[in-house]
Structure 1
Amino acid sequence: MMTTTAMTLLTWTLLSPNASAAESMVVRGFTEPSRQIEVAAADDGQVAEILVKEGERVRAGQTLARLETATLDAALRIARLKAESTSRAKATAAEMEQKQLRLRRLEELRTDGHANEDEVERARADATIAAANHEAAVEEQALNHLECEQIEAQIARRQVVSPIDGAVVRIRRDVAEYVTLNEPGLAHVAQLDPLQVTLYVSSPAAGRLSAGLTLPVTIVETQQRVSGRVDFVSPVTEPGSGTVRVKLLIDNPADALRSGLACEVRLP
């Protein structure tokens, strides 16, 4: 979830009407994270471990923190023992085979006149019951495996994982503190590569921009020149100001540029 800070236009400046035509196309803005996410736990619980520090770079899928799982861990061990046990399934399979063999023998004896119909029917009923017992045992074992998967999923929900590559800006909870689903995220992660610059430009200037267009960007503090790529041009002109919101992305490998730097963008 992108924060209000990441979505808010910071400032932009067009040079005065008396400036030259070339200068009038320079717009000033600020670098900011392209994404900012409050990473929350998917379940309530007590924080068991914080695995990262503020300022640390993380990758998408990396575990940031872990909630207490002692009860679930114990339940999983029990469920795995049940799932791995094949004794009941083997016993019912052996009994089913024995009952079916007896039924076949009695049917052969009946053909020769050495077994009556009642004996055959009782054997058939016994074989049917044995088959049903074996089927129930197999289904029970399958359910035990599903129970393992369910508990494993519950444990996974208690791992707080970063959804993006970025930097840990803030950790909001400590070990032993309790978190709930109604609270803000446990950690704040910002994606700094690429950086984003949000501008408001005049409607005519916006008409000359399109997604993918590369624009020259100057970092004011260092006069470093980089390239910005137009990511989004709003289809809506703001009625109050007559301006259009534009987003630029600046590649930032190794996080060489900081967020919050003033920059100047030259428009075509």
Structure 2
Amino acid sequence: MMMLTNEKQSRWRPFQSCLAAAMLAAVASPAVAATVEGITEPLHDLTISASVPGTIARTLVKEGDFMESGAAILELEKRQEELEVERRRIISESKAELNAAAAQVEMLKIDLEATRKLFETSKSVSKEQLLKKELEYKQAVAEHDKLVLAEAREKIEYDMALEQLRKRIITAPQSGYVVELMRKAGEDCKAQEPLVRLVDTRQCYFVANVEARAGAALQTGQKIKLELPSGRQTLTVTGEVTFVSPVVDPASGLLKIKILFENPQGKIRPGVAGLMHLPEAP
């Protein structure tokens, strides 16, 4: 066995002391959590369009306005649709023909019953007269039933006219800020053409791509600390993991994750980059 001389041992002692101190420091000091860069984006970012073509009659909002769900944003020209709704309403609500048919059925029913009674008791009316009354009654019932069906059809046509009118008013499908108006009053638009961009910034995602090994420690529902810029300062917020991709990108070896965080006052503007603190490995 090779033995070190006293001179060589004396030379190694300082190095051995430094190595031991370093090892003790590594054991004693806590590990620093790793961070990963990512980008913020709003939870809801919608581009709204009309389902029908037309000419924009009025813009009811301006960029920067906050809209509640269901509020009108803009209107297409709708005079023709309004007239059609009124016409269908009058037809649908008119009960004159149906009431007259119902009265006719009731009158012929009474007449038929009286004729049948005379035929059965005194034979003062002939069989042919009774059959004629029965035929008149059945025809009146058939006419009444036809008018009932016509009324139901008119009600459906009225509802369809109302739906066409509603399509001329573009409303917010959810709450959010109007960040872009893509058409002005007087301009034509096609069906499904983008008209308004609506963004809700009260809840946001932090989206990042992490190494697969680090991502293995993440799971939905887990709380994660985020550092996000707000003007000249950096805010520390806590978010919740809502998505961990079930697949790893084969080109980069990275795993996509999403962390949802609250942003009620809009201090953090979606689109800015930030950092997430990865949990320490157990």
Fold shared per TM-score above 0.5: yes
Show the counterpart of 1:17: none
Corresponding residue to 2:136 among 126, 145, 167:
126
Question: How does the TM-score come out when normalised to structure 2?
Answer: 0.83
Show the counterpart of 1:113: 123
Matched, 1:148 2:158: yes
Matched, 1:243 2:254: yes
Count of matched residue pairs: 248
Larger Rg: 2
Matched, 1:224 2:224: no
The 3-state SS of whatever aligns with 2:51 is: coil
Question: How does the TM-score come out when normalised to structure 1?
Answer: 0.87
Equivalent residue runs for 1:54-133 within 5 Å: 54-111=63-120, 112-133=122-143
Q: Deviations over 1:50-97 (max 9, x none)?
A: 122111112232221122221111111111111111111111111111
Query: What percent of counterpart residues are identical?
Result: 27
Matched, 1:38 2:18: no
Corresponding residue to 2:265 among 235, 254, 257:
254
CA contact 1:196–1:247 (8 Å) conserved in 2: yes
Gaps of 5+ in 1: 1-19
Equivalent residue runs for 1:184-195 within 5 Å: 185-195=194-204
CA contact 2:49–2:192 (8 Å) conserved in 1: no
Matched, 1:206 2:222: no
Corresponding residue to 1:174 among 161, 184, 197:
184
Show the counterpart of 1:15: none
Gaps of 5+ in 2: 1-28
> What is the rounded CA distance, in whole Å, between the counterparts of 1:42 and 1:259 in structure 2?
29
How far does residue 136 in structure 1 lie from its aligned partner after superposition?
Answer: 1.6
Q: Deviations over 1:168-192 (max 9, x none)?
A: 1100011121111253x11011221
> What is the rounded CA distance, in whole Å, between the counterparts of 1:42 and 1:253 in structure 2?
32
CA contact 2:228–2:268 (8 Å) conserved in 1: no
CA contact 1:42–1:160 (8 Å) conserved in 2: no
